[in-house]
Amino acid sequence: MQQAVELDDGIVFRELAADDGPALAAAYARNREHLAPWEPARTDAFFTAETHRRDVEATLERLDAGLAMPFVLTDGDDIIGRINLSDVVRGAFQNAHLGYWIDARYTGRGLATTAVGLAVHAARDAGLHRVQAGTLVHNAASQAVLARNGFERFGLAHRYLRIAGEWQDHMLFERLLDE
């Protein structure tokens, strides 16, 4: 289990917990408009505590199976960000995919950069060789977060993910962890 890390101003980076469903639902609801351009289109059901309770349960099963490393940023009882290392593959690959978001009220404070750095450190501690991430081509803020954490661009994936209701191109980044 990853230890919680207290950042500036009482903000905490920690592993996702079993009782985080309601706080995640509230965070997604609070950030619905902020996240809409960067995520898949969401139905109203996505923003319910029950949906997030089930998601947390499934995510923690993947954590227990060694297939995911889920984290959140908190400020008191509020979740203000989510950082996921998902699709963990062992064997010859030793890779994970990185995804993250920060609450609109907290952007521009370096929290995403710090949280991504902590997630990369956790991936290295878990013995992974590589972490990869994709950003929308026009998401300069996310690309800057990755660059500040030593990620390098390695490609462009056309119509890679269906984001905001449309298939959109993504820039692909990687960070090798054993160099």
| pLDDT tens string 123-146 | 999 999 999 999 999 999 999 999
Average pLDDT, the chain: 96
Q: Report which of residues 8 and 71 the model is more confident about.
A: 71
Over residues 147-174, mean pLDDT = 98
Q: Which residue is associated with the tokens 């290295």? A: 124
CA dist., res. 49 & res. 47, Å (int): 7
| pLDDT tens string 73-131 | 999 999 999 999 999 999 999 999 999 999 999 999 999 999 999 999 999 999 999 99
Over residues 51-78, mean pLDDT = 98
Q: Which two tokens stand for residue 77?
A: 């009882």
Q: Which CATH superfamily is domain 5-176 in?
A: Gcn5-related N-acetyltransferase (GNAT) (3.40.630.30)
pLDDT score at 47: 98
Among candidate residues 179, 168, 177, the one with its CA nearest the CA of residue 40: 168
Residue 163: pLDDT band (50, 70, 90) is very high
Residue 22: pLDDT band (50, 70, 90) is very high
pLDDT score at 26: 98
Give buried/exposed letters for 38-70 (b at 16+ CB in 10 A, else e): ebeeeeeebbbeebbbebbeebbebbeeebbbb
pLDDT score at 1: 62
